[in-house]
Amino acid sequence: MPDFSDSAASGDAKTPLRTAALARRASLSDSDRNAAAMAIAARGLPVPLHEGTVVAGYAPIRGELDPFPLMRAFAARGARLALPVVTRQGAPLLFRLWQENDPLPRSTLGIREPSPDAPEVRPDIVLVPLAAFDASGHRIGYGAGHYDCTLENLRAQRPVIAIGLAFAMQQIPAVPAAAHDVALDYVLTEQGLLTFRRR
């Protein structure tokens, strides 16, 4: 598996928080992980879903909460699914359509991604993986900044809803957010929903 930690950020205030959060996440049992993913799928998204809505998930790595049960539930309700593609460091992610049983070859970074032949789409809803989050909607990722620049790029063109998926134990008192960090609209955990979106 690739290491997405950013060496330039190794001395920043997020580094020990990231390390501790990833260690806690790694301690979860497979049964706890599966139960959390199923609980979130049963609860559903906190926003309306329309026929053809594009929901972008992710192929989980490093013990991330598995979004596929939730994605399958929305596909059954008429959503189109997409998964991210990493193009290069510091560039926004691309999203390509994906559906159940489509192949997910591994990229040069070792990440499962849709086939290059799959159509590129712009998501309406982005399910965001994370290492830690706080009660203000700020998240700690792996330091590469992929989702920050992606959400900034998408939101510059039209509204996009960002929903963090996490285990409840990944919440921390406060994330030392920087100016370039993009806040989430919601976080879904197995214990409930946190809402940060301004009405």
Say if residue 53 carries a ligand binding annotation.
no
Say if residue 50 carries a ligand binding annotation.
no
Say if residue 90 carries a ligand binding annotation.
no
Say if residue 106 carries a ligand binding annotation.
no
Say if residue 190 carries a ligand binding annotation.
no
Say if residue 113 carries a ligand binding annotation.
no
* Cβ contact 120:150 at 8 Å: no
Say if residue 130 carries a ligand binding annotation.
no
Edge-first strand order for the sheet with 192-195 is 94-97, 80-85, 54-56, 125-128, 161-165, 186-189, 192-195
169-to-22, 65, 84, 198 alpha-carbon distances in Å: 11, 12, 25, 25
What is residue 106's DSSP assignment? Answer: B
Say if residue 111 carries a ligand binding annotation.
no
Say if residue 39 carries a ligand binding annotation.
no
Say if residue 18 carries a ligand binding annotation.
yes
* Tokens (6 digits) for 95: 């999203």
Say if residue 129 carries a ligand binding annotation.
no
Say if residue 100 carries a ligand binding annotation.
no
Say if residue 58 carries a ligand binding annotation.
no
| Residues in binding site for substrate | 64
| Residues in binding site for ATP | 14-18, 139-147
| Residues in binding site | 14-18, 64, 139-147
